[in-house]
Structure 1
Amino acid sequence: MTDTTLSSPPVQTGKLAWITGASSGIGRAVAIKLAREGYRVAVSARSADKLMELQAEMPDRIFAFPLDVTDRAAASSVANAIRASLGPIDLAIFSAGSYKRDSVRRFNSGAFAETLNLNVIGTAHTLEAVIPDMIARRSGEICVVASVAGYVGLPGGGFYGATKAALNNLCEALYPELEREGVRMRVINPGFVDTPLTAKNDFPMPFLISVDEAAESIVDGLKTNKFEIIFPWKMAFAIKFLHALPHRLRFALTRKMLRK
């Protein structure tokens, strides 16, 4: 069972953010940047050790709540523990997810199901854990980290891209309903970011940026009224241009991405 008990309740100053997928990569960088800007930040991920290391960097602003988002009951329990210890969640950023390249020669529905379960169903579990309370308060903001990979099906990224397309669609569907309930909904679509996940890639990654640059783009985006936070702009332009092309032209370009 996950231990979500804090040793002592912190002084409740500053808005409260909850970030999943916070043990590394974009989630970790955003947690640190928000904490530096005055937020209290509850951080969740499966790796309790990494969360505790993060908490130790800013123990008065960052608070560890280990969680496997694929566990629906645990997601609800952790959200309740955060609210009980720290107060209402003002901002939720759900970035938990994973990526592995796929191929038609080793097409595996089980691997697809694992990716879908973490990236999409796991996100749904955390959405379910915060939406009712935010609606009841008619206050709050939810951001889901998807990817520009959700715009176009790219060779080797079918499983990952499909999950990110699903998240983009889900956020678009939820936006007007949540807006009516007084809750802001956003989707975050990064391009290539230098993280432990992308470090495994063995192909060129155009317009690659650092996690700190990604975190800055996200936090700056939170200060606007935009539904979509997409970056870097060169990657955003390229992927949206590719998405707008007729299939014949689009496939002519994506064929060039095939491995020999």
Structure 2
Amino acid sequence: MSESMSVSERVSEGKIAWITGASSGIGRAVALRLARDGFRVAVSARSTDKLDELVAEMPDRLFAFPLDVTDLAASKAVVEAIRSTLGPIDLAIFSAGSYKRDSVRRFDSTALSDTMNLNVVGTAHTLEAVMPDMIARRSGEICVVASVAGYVGLPGGGFYGATKAALNNLCEALYPELEREGVRLRVINPGFVDTPLTKKNDFPMPFLISVEEAAEAIVNGLKTSRYEIIFPWKMALAIKLLHALPRRMQFALTRKMLRKR
């Protein structure tokens, strides 16, 4: 078997996937898509009821492992439970996270800390839990779901964007080391996706796509050798152009995103 072959190209071999944040949104859609493609998928989230509803859709392919990723010991225990129940994890997709609008008039450092703890530290917990076995086997694939919001600071999204910028930076730092250890790492940077989190937004969301379209983009990305899976392409192009602009021009555009007082 070729070492360059991606996990999703070896579906027929009965590979095991683990997805966090699987009770809703992108995580849920990707879990269903991978299960339909032949994976046995361990799904984790804090909501046991929603996990049970998900598993009921494909009980022979989906398996619930409830988890609060902010608990390191629990994250390690879940990885061990998956390994003993289903087998070694071949593909891990970490999509657990949350989002809440922020404002300088309601600046709340505790809210920032909570968001960092879930989005960044929680992801670090699952990385710490899954990497040792993959490194020991010199096999496996890890995908961290960040966001295009990590490219540019946008008004009202400072806390969320900061966590996604941190994840992008963390993955860039880990990539060369994991590559040397035989483990593939990717970062997934979605634009606006129609999920329970984005339904909170009260502003226009350009190039909004469905969770099914997001899952399709992710699975297609897994079939490539790309480090970054970013979509939809129009949003990717727009955010990268905004990121490349001189600060004066960048701020001229982001000022237009300010809410009216």
Normalised by the size of structure 1, how large is the TM-score? 0.95
Q: 1:92 maps to what in 2?
A: 92
Aligned partners of 2:143, 2:232: CA distance in 1, in Å? 18
Displacement of 1:13: 6.3
CA deviation map 1:13-57 (0-9, x unaligned): 610000000000000000000000000000000000110111111
In the TM superposition, what whole-angstrom CA distance separates every residue of 1:160-218 from its partner, at most 9, and x where no partner exists? 00000000000010000000000000000000000000001000000000000000000
Matched letter for residue 63 of structure 2: F
Aligned to 2:72: 72
**Count of equivalent residues:** 249
Identity of aligned residues (%): 84
2:38 paired residue number: 38
Distance 1:199 1:158 in 2: 18
CA–CA distance in structure 2, aligned partners of residues 42 and 67 of structure 1: 11
Partners of 1:97 and 1:255 lie apart in 2 by 27
Report the CA distance between 1:156 and its aligned residue.
Answer: 0.2
1:58 is aligned to 2:61: no
User: Distance between the aligned counterparts of 1:256 and 1:54, measured in 2?
Assistant: 40
Runs of 5+ consecutive residues of structure 2 not aligned to the other structure: 1-11
TM-score (norm 2): 0.95
The one-letter code matched in structure 1 to 2:75 is: A
- Counterpart residue number, 1:195: 195
**Separation (CA, whole Å) in 2 of partners of 1:19 and 1:162:** 23
Amino acid at match of 1:166: A
| 2:180 matches 1:180 | yes
Partners of 1:202 and 1:252 in 2: how far apart? Answer: 21
SS at match of 2:112: helix
Preserved CA contact (<8 Å) 1:26 1:215:
yes
CA distance in 2, matches of 1:151, 1:253: 15
Q: Kindly provide the amino acid, as one letter, of the partner of residue 183 in structure 1.
A: V
The verdict on how the C-alpha distance between 1:210 and 1:154 changes in structure 2, with shifts beyond 3 A counting, is: same
Tell me how far apart the structure 2 counterparts of residues 155 and 53 of structure 1 sit (CA, whole Å).
36
State yes or no: 1:252 paired with 2:222: no
1:238 is aligned to 238
Deviation readout 1:204-251 (Å, 9 max, x if unpaired):
000000000000000000000000000000000000000000000000
